[in-house]
């Protein structure tokens, strides 16, 4: 049988986030160690024998019998919203090393374009969308080939310019999320462009607010929220951006439970692009340094924050899809192993997201290794390496931006 959900977060178990196929008594015993009951997808595997079922209602079936407590099964015939979105499947077509060279050039070009566009806006000129689109198309092409390279660069090469960092970060993560969801290339381009423009309206806010180095006051927060209105106006005035992107920007601070702004929309009223942008924007903001504070979370901690916000701040299914996109330890994360060694996550394995590819940079005594070693944790020969925890950027004196020069 195929277990699609547990009674606890997948994050707290050794199982993959996507689910687990139970094929033996050993599998069942392992499942019992971590869960009291589970949810079974009867479309992806056989159902438990009917003789163990007790029907509580039309949708819910519970398996009873010996201790420990029962497994619960749900017939999941209803196609999810995100399964309906899937139109294509992308395969990695270049190696990480090959794509990294291309990604560096793309990042440099996008940085130059963003800074020119922001400078033009400060001087009162209109938003030059066409100037941004070339970089967006190159970004999408790279992410389709191999999403890990640009993801690594946006995580480790953050400058002191938060607005630029955040624009590029949200653009890359939005496109990567769309790739995971199986959206068409044109939709990935929309997501990447929308991600780049989410906070463009901040250019209209007072510079002293943008560069403030102390905590925001309630009035500061109120003023900061007006950036959405400014962003929408700047983009709408160009008359060359689709309504889908316009809604994405307008809705990226709306929330599942109606607690967001500016319109306090609930989930059903928020477009799919808006929901994607809300999660991505929050993730990147949590892992970025701002003028008034250092980054609050490691990438792994930010993933946990999003997970605990599912069903309230963000839609549960979409949060889980995002975690599947970036992994528990996202590309660019620093991680410490039970052995004491420290490494940088280079790639998240599509099929085994708990076992990324990592470059070991510190030995058991936290001293720099004579030679960096890349290991794929999904391979049996590296089974002794188990991640103990995520680390903040620059932990143990590591200069992340100098590792890949």
Does the pLDDT value for residue 61 go beyond 60? no
Does the pLDDT value for residue 405 go beyond 50? yes
pLDDT of residue 55: 43
pLDDT of residue 296: 67
Summarised one tens digit per residue, pLDDT across range 118-149 is 899 989 999 999 889 999 999 999 999 999 99
pLDDT of residue 43: 63
Spatial strand order of the sheet with 71-74 comes to: 53-55, 60-63, 71-74
Summarised one tens digit per residue, pLDDT across range 381-398 is 777 888 888 898 889 999
Confidence of residue 62 (pLDDT cuts 50, 70, 90): very low
pLDDT of residue 179: 96
Domains of the chain plus CATH, in order, are: 2-78 (no CATH), 96-326 (1.10.3210.10), 334-402 (no CATH)
pLDDT of residue 18: 54
- Determine if residue 366 is left, alpha or beta; phi over 0 gives left, psi from -120 to 50 gives alpha, anything else beta: left
**14-28, 303-317, 363-377: which has the minimum mean pLDDT?**
14-28
pLDDT of residue 75: 38
Confidence of residue 353 (pLDDT cuts 50, 70, 90): confident
Confidence of residue 80 (pLDDT cuts 50, 70, 90): low
pTM, two decimal places = 0.79
pLDDT of residue 65: 37
pLDDT of residue 184: 96
Confidence of residue 10 (pLDDT cuts 50, 70, 90): low
Residue pair 396/366 in contact (Cβ under 8 Å)? The answer is yes
Confidence of residue 160 (pLDDT cuts 50, 70, 90): low
Average pLDDT on 170-185 reads 96
pLDDT of residue 295: 59
Summarised one tens digit per residue, pLDDT across range 83-114 is 778 889 999 999 999 999 999 999 999 989 99
pLDDT of residue 11: 57
Average pLDDT on 272-290 reads 93
pLDDT of residue 157: 72
Does the pLDDT value for residue 292 go beyond 70? no
Does the pLDDT value for residue 21 go beyond 80? no
Average predicted confidence (pLDDT) for the chain = 84
% of residues, the chain, pLDDT over 70: 83
pLDDT of residue 74: 34
Does the pLDDT value for residue 59 go beyond 60? no
Average pLDDT on 65-78 reads 37
**More confident of the two residues 214 and 303:** 303
**More confident of the two residues 14 and 189:** 189
């Amino acid at each position: 049988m195929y277990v699609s959900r547990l009674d606890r977060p997948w994050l707290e178990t050794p199982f993959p986030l996507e689910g687990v196929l139970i094929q033996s008594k050993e599998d069942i015993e392992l499942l019992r160690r971590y869960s009291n009951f589970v949810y079974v997808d009867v479309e992806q595997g056989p159902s438990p024998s009917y003789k163990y079922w007790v029907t509580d209602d039309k949708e819910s079936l519970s398996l009873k019998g010996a201790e420990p407590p029962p497994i619960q099964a749900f017939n999941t015939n209803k196609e999810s919203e995100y399964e309906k979105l899937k139109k294509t499947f992308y395969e990695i077509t270049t190696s990480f090393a090959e794509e990294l060279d291309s990604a560096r050039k793309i990042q440099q070009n996008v940085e130059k374009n963003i800074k020119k566009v922001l400078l033009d806006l400060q001087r009162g000129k209109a938003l030059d969308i066409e100037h941004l689109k070339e970089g967006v198309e190159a970004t999408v092409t790279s992410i389709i080939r191999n999403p890990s390279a640009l993801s690594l660069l946006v995580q480790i090469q953050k400058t002191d310019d938060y607005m630029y960092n955040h624009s590029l970060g949200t653009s890359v993560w939005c496109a990567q999320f769309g790739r995971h969801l199986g959206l068409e290339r044109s939709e990935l381009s929309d997501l990447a462009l929308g991600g780049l423009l989410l906070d463009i309206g901040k250019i209209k806010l007072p510079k002293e607010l943008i560069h403030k180095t102390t905590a925001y006051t309630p009035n500061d927060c109120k003023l900061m929220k007006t950036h959405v209105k400014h962003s929408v106006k700047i983009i709408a005035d160009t008359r060359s951006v689709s309504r889908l992107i316009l809604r994405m920007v307008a809705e990226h601070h709306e929330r599942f439970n109606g607690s967001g702004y500016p319109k306090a929309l609930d989930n059903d009223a928020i477009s799919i692009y808006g929901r994607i942008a809300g999660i991505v924007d929050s993730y990147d903001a949590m892992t970025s340094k701002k003028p008034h504070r250092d980054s609050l979370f490691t990438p792994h901690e930010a993933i946990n924050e999003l997970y605990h916000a599912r069903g309230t701040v963000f839609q549960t299914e979409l949060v889980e899809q995002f975690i599947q996109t970036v992994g528990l330890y996202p590309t660019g994360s620093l991680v410490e192993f039970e052995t004491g060694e420290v490494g940088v996550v280079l790639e998240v394995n599509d099929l085994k997201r708990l076992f990324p590819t990592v470059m070991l940079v510190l030995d058991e005594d936290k001293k720099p290794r004579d030679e960096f070693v890349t290991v794929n944790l999904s391979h049996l020969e590296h089974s002794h390496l188990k991640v103990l925890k995520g680390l903040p950027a620059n932990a143990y004196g590591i200069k992340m931006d100098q590792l890949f020069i």
